[in-house]
């Protein structure tokens, strides 16, 4: 594993544009404006989200398929095990069904998670806070056109909020382009042969400012997948055109402070029973068919949907031109990293 020093980026001559007190106020403004706009544009209702769920039900997410959830025993439940959520992708779909939401209606929630396997660096911490949203669809809306329409709507909210906060603080200026560039991971690999997936992201994001990479999870012809995805929430196997698969992807923007592509959102159209069966087979996870969530999905009890998570701290970090996510959220950091940030004038909360 890399040392904490090697994973820290210190931008030359960095100085925060807002002091900690004004930063806290700006965070509040961003969160209020963004969630209001997102809810309006996608017709979402705020719901209360769980911090933890019962273990062994298939409700929690394993993200790329390898991350360990924080698990503990609950004395009041006869020492039954519970897990702190890693995201709410599957829980939200259950909520859509149980609360009776119709196609065109959806929900969003403040999701707070602990991900102990995340590397701690400028943009990763143990604590994850995001808006988790889910929109019910008609079965016939599980298409690439619907995915791209919703991606552009979400991006418009991201861009609109940037313009708002820049209007509030003269120290800030807008950076996002008017349009987001959408590209399939297979075309990205063909455009930049010989580069790694992260290097491809950097090149495209630096050139266009904001991108959505679709088709994440499935093999890219003879190449491995762009990145991993768990088999039971996003649909990464449905064919959308000859040779192209996947109804999911990531929104990334170019972060000028750190000179990196910054992922703000992972989202996608969710698996239907056929896609779930396919992806469980590919992933060697067919035993999950017996879990609570999977049984309900395979029985046709859950609506078709599209959803995702949008990082709150990352979004604020980008808008406020911060060099470290620890300038936005209070957390635990390796001592060497905290010392290096202090010496570089990066004020961690």
Does the active-site annotation cover 61?
Answer: yes
Contacts with 176 (C-beta within 8 Å, 6 or more apart), sequence order: 158, 159, 162, 209, 210, 253
Task: Please give the pLDDT value at position 3.
Answer: 40
Report d(CA 295, CA 273) in Å as an integer: 10
> Across residues 306-327, what is the average pLDDT?
97
Q: pLDDT band at residue 4, thresholds of 50, 70 and 90?
A: very low
115 given a catalytic annotation: yes
- What pLDDT score does 109 carry? 96
Exactly one of 4, 83, 86, 115 is catalytic; name it.
115
* Per-residue pLDDT, 2: 38
| Count of other CB atoms within 10 angstroms of residue 230 | 23
To the query of whether residue 15 is one of the catalytic residues in this protein, the response is: no
CB-count burial class (<10 Å; 0-12, 13-18, 19+) for 188: buried
Residue 6 confidence (pLDDT) above 80? no
Catalytic residue among 232, 250, 255, 277: 250
Supply the pLDDT for residue 62: 63
pLDDT of residue 5 exceeding 50, the answer is: no
| pLDDT tens string 212-256 | 999 999 899 889 999 999 999 999 999 999 999 999 999 999 999
Q: Pick the catalytic residue: 37, 118, 263, 296?
A: 263
Q: For the chain, what are the domain ranges? A: 29-320
Catalytic residue among 4, 175, 266, 313: 266
Are the beta carbons of 124 and 333 closer than 8 angstroms? no
Residues 138-167, buried b or exposed e (16+ Cβ, 10 A)? eeebbebebbeebbeebbbbbbebbebbee
For the cut 90, the answer to whether the pLDDT of residue 54 exceeds it is no
Residue 8 pLDDT level (bands cut at 50, 70, 90) = very high
Residue 65 scores a pLDDT above 70: no
Active-site residue, from 4, 35, 61, 329? 61
Q: Which position has the token pair 């192209």?
A: 244
Range with lowest mean pLDDT among 113-122, 153-162, 182-191: 113-122
Q: Which fold has domain 29-320?
A: BirA Bifunctional Protein; domain 2 (3.30.930)
Confidence band for 1, pLDDT divided at 50, 70 and 90: very low
**Catalytic, out of 87, 125, 130, 313:** 130
Tell me: pLDDT of 185 over 70.
Answer: yes
pLDDT in tens, 122-176: 999 989 999 999 999 999 999 999 999 999 999 999 999 999 999 999 999 999 9
| Its pTM surpasses 0.85 | yes
Q: Is 250 annotated as catalytic? A: yes
Residue 263 annotated as catalytic? yes
Structure tokens at 261: 């592509």
- 227: annotated active-site residue: no
């Amino acid at each position: 594993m890399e040392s904490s020093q090697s994973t820290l980026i210190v931008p030359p001559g960095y100085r925060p544009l807002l002091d900690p007190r004004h930063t806290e106020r700006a965070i509040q403004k961003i969160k209020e404006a963004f969630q209001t706009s997102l809810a309006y544009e996608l017709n979402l209702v705020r719901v209360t989200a769980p911090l933890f769920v019962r273990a062994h039900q298939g409700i929690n997410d394993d993200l790329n398929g390898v991350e360990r959830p924080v698990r503990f025993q609950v004395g009041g439940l006869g020492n039954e095990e519970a897990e702190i959520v890693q995201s709410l992708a599957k829980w939200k779909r259950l909520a859509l069904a149980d609360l009776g939401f119709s196609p065109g209606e959806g929900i969003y929630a403040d999701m707070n998670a602990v991900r102990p396997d995340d590397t701690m660096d400028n943009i990763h911490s143990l604590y994850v806070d995001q808006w988790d949203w889910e929109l019910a669809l008609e079965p016939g809306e599980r298409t690439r056109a619907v995915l791209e329409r919703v991606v552009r709507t979400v991006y418009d909210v991201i861009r609109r909020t940037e313009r708002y906060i820049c209007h509030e603080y003269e120290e800030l200026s807008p950076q996002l382009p008017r349009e987001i560039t959408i590209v399939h991971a297979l075309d990205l690999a063909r455009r930049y042969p010989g580069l790694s997936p992260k290097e491809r992201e950097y090149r495209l994001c630096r050139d266009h400012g904001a991108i959505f990479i679709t088709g994440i999870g499935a093999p890219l012809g003879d190449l491995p997948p762009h990145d991993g995805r768990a088999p039971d929430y996003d649909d990464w196997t449905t064919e959308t055109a000859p040779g192209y698969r996947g109804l999911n992807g990531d929104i990334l923007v170019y972060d000028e402070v750190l000179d990196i592509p910054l992922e703000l959102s992972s989202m996608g159209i969710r698996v239907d029973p056929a896609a779930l069966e396919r992806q469980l087979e590919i992933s060697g996870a067919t035993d999950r068919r017996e879990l609570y969530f999977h049984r309900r999905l395979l029985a046709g009890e859950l609506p078709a949907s599209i959803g995702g998570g949008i990082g709150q701290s990352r979004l604020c970090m980008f808008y406020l031109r911060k060099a470290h996510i620890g300038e936005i959220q209070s957390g635990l950091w390796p001592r060497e990293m905290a010392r290096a940030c202090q010496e570089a004038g990066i004020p961690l909360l």
